[in-house]
């Protein structure tokens, strides 16, 4: 019985370590999101981003999201694209 408990603890630790390693290795999310707008809408886009950045973030359930670092969020930039 003691042996089974020991194996269970070891396997749980290995599973947790594998899960953490997968998150580190497969984190391929873009660090910068680009919003393409026409050159006459560029100032409005930048103002909207500044307004949104000053607002608090909420989850889908309505609870306040607290980010420990600004690096937790991707950078968002407006760029002008002439068609």
The pLDDT tens digits for 36-61 are: 999 999 999 999 999 988 888 788 89
Q: What mean pLDDT is reported for the chain?
A: 78
The vertex-70 CA angle with 65 and 73, nearest 5°, equals 70
Answer yes or no: are the C-beta atoms of 67 and 57 closer than 8 Å. yes
Residues 6+ apart with CB under 8 A from 6: none
* pLDDT tops 90 at residue 69: no
* pLDDT tops 60 at residue 68: no
Residue 79's SS3 state is strand
pLDDT of residue 56: 81
């Amino acid at each position: 019985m003691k042996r089974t408990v020991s194996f269970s603890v070891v396997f749980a630790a290995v599973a947790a370590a594998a899960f953490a390693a997968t998150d580190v290795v497969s984190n391929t999310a873009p660090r910068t999101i680009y919003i393409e707008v026409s050159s006459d809408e560029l100032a409005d886009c930048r103002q909207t981003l500044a307004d949104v950045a000053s607002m608090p973030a909420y989850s889908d359930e309505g609870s306040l999201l607290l980010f420990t670092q600004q690096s937790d969020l991707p950078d968002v930039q407006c760029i002008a694209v002439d068609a």
